[in-house]
């Protein structure tokens, strides 16, 4: 909103108003504002939750220090969501399709997580929102977003033009930057595309229509939207649930999400900047740079929340935060055409999810085969396995953070390592 105000002030030559045209300035302001909201108002929200006796109901799983967390305020995801939404509304171009999609995702999954926490706390149902309704909510969101991304005329890419052929349809952008002078050859017109990025390959673009190789070219173009929408549904559901599974130790999901958010912000910046996109030989996505403002708010919100969520936690994010955080990360990656990088970048979420599936699957298999269920891990998700092995909670969290940083670095390195 402030962007539009200062754009008007800039037109009447108000001193300093033009600075709001810079994404870097608005991103910095979004980061600072989200930190202020989460740090200053976070404490007030925690006090309110305590006053209303909105505390975590802890099941005794035999984990060290677990019962000490009984009664710790939950639904703290409200702090994260408000710290994302308010700065985004203030500093981003809210008519930008990418910002609209991210805000819809935030509110949708935030409300779904809030309903889950509400049932647990006020209805005294430890299971919360039934699993089938959670999946229905995630699938519905994925369906809406998939159709929007595919059919919206505002979500486009711009392809490179051959340097040896300069035609009227080719735009040549010549620029000088800090590291070299270079001519950038880009097609003049933006196009709709279902292309995404594959890591470690030289020609690193993959089109979802390739999955319909058995159809004719016309049929592939006609039906590729089905494959794309199904992929969006799967990614949103998987990453959202992965973040939810990871939220089991103080500061674990928050810290990992902050690292992932920082990486996605960097990827959004270079993907939305024609110079960096050309230099790194990655897909240029017009108007996607605006997502850096949202990413900055996301980073500030998670870091600010960690002030209260670090060990020993004064508040838990609950499903209000974890479901939304995972969904945001998934949708953000899809929008910048980096969803195939998610198994690397979100490796912690992936392994946590996988450990649960392996544990359940192996238990059912051995029970059916031998009459007695056996376990692969001492407990799932994986972080509880290490608790059972005697590792203290802060050590587990810190080591998972270190792994998350390593995975983030590998993700960024894939931009050039092909």
In DSSP notation, 28-94 reads HHHHHHHHHIIIIIHHHHHHHHHHTT-B------S-TT-GGGTT-B--THHHHHHHHHHHHHHHS-T
Cβ atoms within 10 Å, residue 313 = 21
Each residue's pLDDT tens digit, 311-366 = 888 999 999 999 999 999 999 999 999 999 999 999 999 999 999 999 999 999 99
Give the mean pLDDT of 226-252: 94
Question: Tokens 């999609």 belong to which residue?
Answer: 101
At residue 125, the pLDDT reads 79
Percentage of residues of the chain with pLDDT beyond 70: 90
For 310, residues 6+ apart whose C-beta sits below 8 A from its C-beta are: 250, 251
At residue 257, the pLDDT reads 96
| Structure token pair of residue 269 | 């910046």
| Structure token pair of residue 101 | 């999609």
The mean-pLDDT minimum among 3-12, 164-173, 205-214, 314-323 falls in 164-173
d(CA 65, CA 122): 25
| Summary mean pLDDT of the chain | 88
pTM of the model: 0.92
| Structure token pair of residue 201 | 């390959």
Q: How many CA atoms does the CB half-sphere of 280 hold within 13 Å?
A: 24
Q: SS3 of 176, please?
A: strand
d(CA 397, CA 380): 15
d(CA 46, CA 52): 10
Question: Tokens 């838990």 belong to which residue?
Answer: 316
Give the mean pLDDT of 387-401: 93
At residue 63, the pLDDT reads 66
Q: β-strands 205-207, 195-197: how paired?
A: antiparallel
- Report residue 170: phi and psi, to 5°: -110, 130
d(CA 195, CA 283): 9
User: What one-character-per-residue DSSP string does 288-333 give?
Assistant: GGGHHHHHHHHHHHHHHHHHHHSSSPS---HHHHHHHHHHHHHHHH
d(CA 83, CA 212): 42
Each residue's pLDDT tens digit, 248-289 = 899 999 999 999 999 999 999 999 998 888 888 888 999 999
How does DSSP classify residue 184? E
At residue 170, the pLDDT reads 46
> Bridge partners of 283?
none
Q: Report angle CA 350, 354, 357 to the nearest 5 degrees.
A: 145
Each residue's pLDDT tens digit, 44-101 = 998 888 887 676 666 656 566 666 677 788 889 999 999 999 999 999 999 999 999 9
At residue 394, the pLDDT reads 93
Each residue's pLDDT tens digit, 177-201 = 444 556 676 777 788 899 998 888 7
Preceding peptide of 312 cis, ω within 30°: yes
Q: Which of 64, 57, 20, 73 is nearest to 321 (CA)?
A: 73
d(CA 410, CA 417): 9
At residue 2, the pLDDT reads 84
């Amino acid at each position: 909103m402030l962007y539009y105000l200062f754009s008007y002030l800039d037109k009447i030559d108000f001193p300093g108003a033009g600075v709001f045209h810079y994404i870097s300035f608005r991103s910095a302001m979004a980061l600072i504002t989200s930190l202020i909201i989460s740090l200053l108002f976070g404490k007030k929200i925690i006090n309110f939750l305590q006053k209303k006796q909105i505390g975590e109901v802890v099941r005794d799983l035999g984990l060290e220090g677990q019962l000490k967390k009984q009664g710790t305020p939950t639904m703290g995801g409200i702090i994260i969501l408000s710290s994302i939404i308010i700065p985004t509304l203030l500093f981003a171009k809210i008519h930008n399709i990418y910002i609209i999609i991210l805000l819809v995702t935030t509110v949708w999954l935030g409300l779904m997580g809030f309903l889950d926490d509400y049932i647990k706390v006020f209805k005294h149902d430890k299971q919360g929102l039934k699993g089938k309704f959670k999946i229905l909510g995630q699938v519905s969101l994925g369906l809406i977003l998939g159709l929007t991304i595919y059919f919206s005329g505002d979500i486009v890419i711009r392809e490179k033009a051959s340097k040896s052929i300069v035609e009227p349809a080719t735009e040549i952008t010549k620029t000088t930057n800090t590291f070299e002078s270079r001519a950038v050859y880009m097609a003049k017109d933006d196009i709709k595309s279902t292309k995404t990025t594959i890591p470690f390959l030289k020609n690193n673009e993959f089109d979802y229509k390739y999955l319909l190789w058995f159809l004719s070219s016309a049929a592939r173009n006609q039906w590729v939207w089905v494959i794309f929408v199904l992929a969006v549904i799967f990614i949103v559901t998987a990453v959202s649930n992965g973040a939810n599974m990871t939220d089991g130790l103080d500061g674990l999901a928050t810290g990992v999400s902050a690292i992932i958010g920082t990486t996605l912000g960097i990827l959004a910046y270079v993907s939305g900047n024609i110079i960096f996109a050309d230099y790194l030989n990655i897909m240029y996505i017009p108007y996607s740079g605006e997502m850096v403002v949202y990413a900055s708010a996301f980073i500030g919100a998670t870091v600010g929340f960690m002030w209260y969520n670090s060990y020993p936690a004064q508040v838990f994010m609950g499903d209000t935060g974890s479901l939304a955080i995972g969904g945001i990360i998934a949708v953000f990656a899809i929008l910048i055409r980096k969803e195939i990088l998610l198994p690397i970048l979100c490796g912690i979420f992936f392994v946590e999810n996988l450990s649960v599936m392996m544990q359940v699957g192996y238990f059912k298999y051995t029970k059916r085969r031998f009459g007695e269920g056996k376990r692969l891990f001492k407990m799932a998700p994986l972080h509880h396995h290490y608790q059972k092995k005697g590792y203290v909670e802060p050590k587990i969290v810190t080591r998972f953070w270190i792994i998350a940083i390593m995975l983030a670095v590998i993700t960024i390195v894939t931009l050039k390592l092909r």
